[in-house]
Amino acid sequence: MGKGKLKRFAENQQFGHVFEPDYQSLIQKGFEWKGNWQSWFKQPGDITLELACGKGEYSLGLSARYPHRNFIGMDIKGARLWKGAKQVAEEQRGNVAFLRQRIHLIPHFLSPEDRVSDIWIVFPDPQPREGKEKKRLTSPAFLSRYRSFLPPEGKIHLKTDSRMLFEYTESVVAEQGLRVLERSENVYRDYGPDSELHIRTFYESMWLEMGRDIHYLCFEIGSDGL
């Protein structure tokens, strides 16, 4: 492992807004802020969760637009997550936190009391191989996990360059009878520059240079009883 990564990992451990619980501790003792995130943040307000956040570009972009809301970015890659965490520390933003852990464990970190109102899933790994459907972050298995803390009217935002993942998610939404709120096959055609959908990640800029269309789907999470 390079010295750069080791330095970033060490810095993450010093940031008060980065949480890296190990698996055994999480299972045995639970996560101390589950159900108490409203106490951790310096201001009361609904929480937006960014999954597979990478460098945290969307959490940072949204938190700048909506300073009275709170944001949590989650990813397993500590070296990537460090970039967003570093910016939060330098700018002293009190409305952004980061979780370093695997996303399938998300029910261990959040509960309905935390007031999560929506989830952004921005350019996740589409898991295109046959047999990998359960690993897609919009699969029925993951939607069920999100329902452990999201209210039925909670929103899921998917932004992706993967046509396969976009259409797969549409099929899941249709099968579960969920309400679609917004849909676009080409974000930069359908939304103006003031839209939050124009917040760009590092990878999105690459895809745009390659001429790929960016797709967007927003739907209500519903309940497991649907």
DSSP class per residue in 90-124:
HHT-SSEEEEES-GGGGGGT--GGG-EEEEEEES-
- Kindly tell me the sign of the dihedral angle through the C-alpha atoms of 34, 43, 149, 173: negative
Q: Which of the following is catalytic: 22, 125, 161, 224? A: 125
List the one residue out of 7, 8, 18, 2 whose CA is nearest residue 79.
Answer: 8
Interatomic CA distance for residues 81 and 131, integer angstroms: 29
Q: Are strands 215-220 and 155-160 parallel, antiparallel or unpaired?
A: antiparallel
**Amino acid at site 82:** W
Look up 125 and say whether it is catalytic.
Answer: yes
Which positions are catalytic?
125
